[in-house]
Amino acid sequence: MGEVAGDNDVIIVHAGRLIDPATERVLADQYLTIENGLIAAVSSNRPSSGTIVDLSEKTVLPGLMDAHVHLTSRHDQHGYRRLRSTPASSAINGVVNAHTTLMAGFTTVRNLGAQGYADIALRDAINAGLVPGPRMLASGPSIGITGGHCDMNLLPAQYKAKAGGVADGPWAVRAKVRENIKYGASVIKFCGTGGVLSKGTTIGAQQFTFEEMSAIVDEAHALGLKVAVHAHGSDGIKTAIKAGVDSVEHASLIDDEGLRLAKKNNTTLSMDIYVSDFILAEGEAAGILPESLAKERIVGRQQRERFQAAHRAGIEIAFGSDAGVYRHGLNARQFAYMVEWGMTPMEAMKAATSVTADLFGLSEVTGRVSPGLAADLIAVDGDPLSDIRLLEGVTFVMKDGVIYKDE
Ligand code: ARG
């Protein structure tokens, strides 16, 4: 872990180049004054006192944010291997993966789905300074229909296996939202269609009725939390947008009507357009079921095309990777795909900073380089505006003013 600055210590970060994606500003030779974990000032004049952190040969930008991770999961434990995982093993995975994720430059993440509230325990341990990791929003168990993508469908009936977030009917789902919040959830996640990696579900099939989705969203919003829906198929996506979700995860087969609805309702899309390459190349060795590989072959390419269409339509697109399905710490691999499929490097960086901060309701906390916000900063060698892949090799990480990596 990095050095902890005492309350009176002032750090001056000398940035050779500073990129603030929110404003699209690129400035040379900037001095960022860091006090009490916050950015106190940004100036081209060198302040007279403070401990200098010399990043004069590097490009500095706000800490990256990922709207969709599973810190408690492992990339090599898919299919029936998932039966080995317990809330305890999930928590241990989380400790390891939170560290890896932070070191990769992701200073804030949203964990969408974990068993046994292992994600909540992890978030609280990070906040208490017990273990290093990113600032976390955590959902607890994902809410889903019986037999749906968010249920556990690997065992035959006599075992009566059921995932923690399973509920059917408007009042039952409201109760699940309340239960998740009772145990510490800071965001609500539900499954609105089948999925790739779940057994026996169909990607195109909607899960939950409009009535159930509306109940989840209404309850969550009334209690002050945002809602993320897992949805691949166009019907489930559109029903969820109409029900008022804040973000659609995957959004793989969103049709033009869905794009219009998203635009009208200000719904953010979080499209994990890298993970397909991992699933198709390494998924079988990682235990992914043949039926899931078959589903991925249908959905992967189309999702990238729909990402391009969504971007052209001017829809807010956050950076959501689904890391955990693939190896933690490789989150940034998705940037190159976002650029290949239509974003400028600046837009891709904005997606992973200010757009995601806005989605999280954290725009007053992080995601930008401006006074009063958390000192969440990363640095890379070279200019990511000309080579976005440089973000895969972050050499400096500061979170809340604490340096965790300085190579
Ligand atoms: N967790 C997701 C699911 O099982 C992963 C989808 C990955 N594929 C993709 N093309 N994004 O549905």
* Residue 79 predicted with pLDDT over 70: yes
From 163, 331, 143, select the one nearest 225 (Cα to Cα).
Answer: 143
103-134 confidence digits (pLDDT tens): 999 999 999 999 999 999 999 999 999 999 99
pLDDT of residue 137: 98
Angle between the N-to-C axes of helices 170-182 and 210-222, in degrees from 0 to 180, rounded to the nearest 10: 30
Q: Quote the pTM value.
A: 0.97
- Pocket test of ligand 1: the residue of 150, 153, 250 to mutate, having most ligand atoms within 8 Å of its CB, is 250
Give the percent of the chain with pLDDT over 70.
98
Gap from CA of 70 to ligand 1 centroid (Å): 12
Find residue 64's DSSP bridge partners: 106
The contacts of residue 250 (CB under 8 Å, 6+ apart) are 195, 230, 231, 232, 270, 271, 272, 303, 322
Q: Is the pLDDT of residue 305 over 60?
A: yes
Choose the residue to mutate in 197, 306, 338 for probing ligand 1, maximizing ligand atoms within 8 Å of C-beta: 197
Instruction: Kindly state the average pLDDT of the residues 24-32.
Output: 98
- Buried b or exposed e, range 207-238, using 16+ CB within 10 angstroms: bbeeebbbbbbbbbbeeebbbbbbbbbbbbbb
pLDDT interval class at 2 (50, 70, 90) = very low
Mean pLDDT of 182-191: 98
Residue nearest to atom 11 of ligand 1 (CA): 272
Cα 310 to ligand 1 centroid, rounded to whole Å: 18
Q: Which atom of ligand 1 is nearest to the CA of 272?
A: 11
Mean pLDDT computed over every residue of the chain: 97
Mean pLDDT (whole number) for 84-95: 98
CA–CA distance, 302 with 342 (Å, rounded to integer)? 14
Does the beta carbon of 325 lie inside 6 Å of ligand 1?
Answer: yes
The answer, yes or no, to whether residue 1 has pLDDT greater than 70, is no
DSSP class of 80: G
Q: Please tell me whether residue 28 adopts helix, strand or coil conformation.
A: strand
Please report which confidence band the pLDDT of residue 73 belongs to, taking 50, 70 and 90 as the band edges. very high
Enumerate the β-bridge partners of residue 189.
228
- What is the percentage of the chain residues whose pLDDT exceeds 90? 98
Average pLDDT on 283-308 reads 98
| C-alpha–C-alpha distance, residues 30 and 18, integer Å | 7
Q: How far is the CA of 366 from the centre of ligand 1 (A)?
A: 28
The beta strands (E) that lie in 63-111 are given as 64-69, 106-111
For residue 83, count other CB atoms closer than 10 A to its CB.
12
Mean pLDDT to the nearest integer, 146-171 = 98
Whether the CB of 251 sits within 6 Å of ligand 1: no
CA–CA separation, 337 and 341 (whole Å): 6
Give residue 8's pLDDT band: very low, low, confident or very high (50, 70, 90): low
